[in-house]
C-alpha cells in the first residue's frame, strides 16, 4: 500500500476573507506538499472549487505550479478538473504544458462537479445530468487533442472546436499551429472519484480505463464501488487492478489514542467537519455513505460517530489495526490518500501525524499484508 495525500484545499472562511488570508492558506497547502515529498508520500492531489468558502482554490494548476520547484519525487495531481467549467481545448493545452514542466511527475483527475453553486455559476443543470455529460464530452475532446492527428473538427452537444494543423500558417513556416502534447504518451494517468455505493462515475471510469478514487466512506460502500468499477472494466475487456484503487480518508496519528482524539476534537479537524462537511453532506444526501450499518439514522451521525466508525484516529497501533481491517473489508486497495486539513496553528502535531503515518503505520500495514498474501502488491 502506498501513501499519498489529498488537499481539497480547506481553510477557515474567516481566514480567507481576512487580508492576506488566501495567501496564508496557499502557503500552508504548499508546505503540506513539500512535507509529504520529504516524508516519501507518493502523490498529492489538489482540488478545484469556485464557490466553496471552505475550499477556496479555483485552480489546482496554481498550487501545483508552485510545488514544481519545491519538490523532487512526489507526483502532483489535479483532483479534479471539472471539464464543464472550462473549454476542453484550453484545458487540454494547460494539462499538456504542465505535464511537460513536470516531465511526467503528474496525474489528472476529471470530475463532473458536486458543488451545486459551482454548477449554478457556470449555468449547468445538475438535475438533468448535464454535468456528467459535459465531463464525458470534455474528456473525449481533450483525449482527441492529445492522441488524434490533426487537423480535425469536433461538433458535440456542448462544444465545437478544432485541432489546427501544425503548419497552419505556411506563409511563415514554423510559427502558427498546434504543438502542445503531453510529456507522457498518450497522456498523463487520468482518475475519477466516486461518492455513491454504485457510483455512475466509477462505472464510467471502469468502462474508460480511468483510475478509481473512493472518497471517505464506509468500507461497505467502498467494497460496492470496487465491484461497480471491476464489472464495468470487464464489460469492456479490461482487467481491474486493485493497486490502481485509491481511497481518501481522514487520518490523525499521535503517540497515544487520547492525544490523537484530542487533536481531532479540539482543532481545525472538528471545526471543518462540524462547520462544513457534516451539514453539507447531510443536505446533499451523501451521509448515507458514512453509515457502518444501514439501521443508523442520519440524525445520529455526528463528529463522535465518525471518530468511532469512520475516521482513522489514534496511536500508531490503533491506526495500523484500523487500516489492516479496512484493507480486509474492502478487498484491498493500492493507495491511501490522507485528507489534509489546515493545522497551521498546531503545525508540529500535524506534521508529526504525517511522519508517524509514513514511517510507522504504513510499513506495519504492508508487513501485515505481506503475511496475509494481500492482492495489493505495492509498497511505500
Per the structure block, which three cell numbers stand in for 4? 499519498
Q: Grade residue 378 by pLDDT with cuts at 50, 70 and 90.
A: very low
Provide CB contacts within 8 A for 258, sequence distance 6+.
none
Domain 2-81+189-372 has CATH 3.20.20.30: yes
Per-residue three-class SS string for 138-153: HHHHHHHHHHCCCCEE
Average pLDDT over residues 253-274: 96
Domain range summary for the chain, segments of one domain joined by +: 2-81+189-372
- Backbone φ and ψ for 184, nearest 5 degrees, come out as -85, 135
Per the structure block, which three cell numbers stand in for 3? 501513501
pTM of the model: 0.94
Per the structure block, which three cell numbers stand in for 92? 487540454
Average pLDDT over residues 350-358: 98
Average pLDDT over residues 159-168: 95
- Tell me the pLDDT tens digit for each residue of 3-27: 999 999 999 999 999 999 999 999 9
- How far, in Å, CA of 55 to CA of 344, rounded? 15
- Tell me the pLDDT tens digit for each residue of 280-339: 888 887 788 888 888 898 889 999 999 999 999 999 999 999 999 999 999 999 999 999
Beta-bridge partners for 206: none
- Backbone φ and ψ for 20, nearest 5 degrees, come out as 80, 5
Per the structure block, which three cell numbers stand in for 47? 482540488
- Around 157, how many Cα atoms within 13 Å sit in the side-chain half-sphere? 11
Report the run of H or E that residue 352 belongs to, with start and end: helix 347-356
In the block, cell 483527475 appears at 109
Least-confidence region, from 35-44, 49-58, 193-202: 193-202
DSSP string covering 19-35, please?
TTHHHHHHHHHHHHHHH
Percent of the residues in the chain that have a pLDDT greater than 90, as a whole number:
84
Whether residue 107 contacts residue 74, with contact meaning beta carbons closer than 8 Å, is answered with no
Residue 379 scores a pLDDT above 70: no
Q: Alpha carbon of 266 to those of 315, 342, 344: distances in Å?
A: 17, 13, 14
Q: What's the CA angle centered on 312, arms 369 and 302, to 5 degrees?
A: 145
- How far, in Å, CA of 320 to CA of 365, rounded? 6
Amino acid at each position: 500500500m502506498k501513501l499519498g495525500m489529498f488537499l481539497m484545499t480547506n481553510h477557515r472562511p474567516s481566514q480567507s476573507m481576512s487580508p492576506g488570508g488566501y495567501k496564508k492558506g496557499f502557503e500552508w497547502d504548499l508546505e503540506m506538499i513539500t512535507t509529504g515529498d520529504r516524508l516519501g508520500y507518493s502523490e498529492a492531489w489538489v482540488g478545484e472549487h469556485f464557490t466553496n468558502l471552505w475550499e477556496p482554490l479555483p485552480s489546482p494548476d496554481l498550487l501545483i505550479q508552485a510545488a514544481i520547484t519545491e519538490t523532487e519525487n512526489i507526483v502532483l495531481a489535479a483532483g479534479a478538473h471539472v471539464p464543464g467549467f472550462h473549454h476542453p481545448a484550453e484545458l487540454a493545452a494547460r494539462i499538456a504544458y504542465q505535464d511537460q514542466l513536470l516531465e511526467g511527475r503528474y496525474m489528472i483527475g476529471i470530475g463532473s462537479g458536486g458543488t451545486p453553486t459551482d454548477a449554478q455559476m457556470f449555468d449547468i443543470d445538475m438535475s438533468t445530468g448535464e454535468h456528467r455529460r459535459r465531463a464525458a464530452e470534455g474528456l473525449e475532446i481533450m483525449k482527441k487533442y492529445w492522441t488524434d492527428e490533426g487537423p480535425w473538427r469536433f461538433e458535440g452537444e456542448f462544444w465545437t472546436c478544432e485541432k489546427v494543423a501544425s503548419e497552419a500558417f505556411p506563409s511563415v513556416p514554423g510559427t502558427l499551429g498546434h504543438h502542445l502534447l503531453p510529456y507522457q504518451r498518450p497522456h498523463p494517468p487520468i482518475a475519477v472519484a466516486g461518492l455513491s455505493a454504485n457510483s455512475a462515475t466509477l462505472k464510467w471510469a471502469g468502462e474508460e480505463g480511468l483510475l478509481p478514487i473512493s472518497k471517505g466512506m464506509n468500507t461497505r460502500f467502498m467494497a460496492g464501488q470496487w465491484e461497480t468499477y471491476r464489472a464495468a472494466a470487464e464489460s469492456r475487456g479490461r482487467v481491474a487492478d486493485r493497486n490502481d484503487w485509491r481511497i481518501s480518508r481522514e487520518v490523525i496519528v499521535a503517540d497515544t489514542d487520547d492525544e490523537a482524539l484530542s487533536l481531532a476534537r479540539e482543532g481545525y479537524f472538528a471545526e471543518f467537519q462540524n462547520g462544513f462537511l457534516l451539514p453539507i453532506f447531510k443536505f446533499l444526501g451523501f451521509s448515507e455513505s458514512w453509515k457502518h450499518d444501514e439501521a443508523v439514522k442520519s440524525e445520529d451521525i455526528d463528529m463522535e460517530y465518525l471518530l468511532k466508525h469512520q475516521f482513522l484516529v489514534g496511536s500508531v497501533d490503533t491506526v495500523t489495526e484500523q487500516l489492516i481491517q479496512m484493507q480486509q473489508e474492502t478487498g484491498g486497495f493500492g493507495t491511501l490518500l490522507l485528507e489534509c486539513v489546515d493545522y497551521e496553528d498546531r503545525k508540529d502535531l500535524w506534521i508529526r501525524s504525517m511522519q508517524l503515518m509514513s514511517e510507522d503505520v504504513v510499513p506495519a500495514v504492508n508487513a501485515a499484508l505481506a503475511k496475509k498474501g494481500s492482492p495489493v502488491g505495492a509498497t511505500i
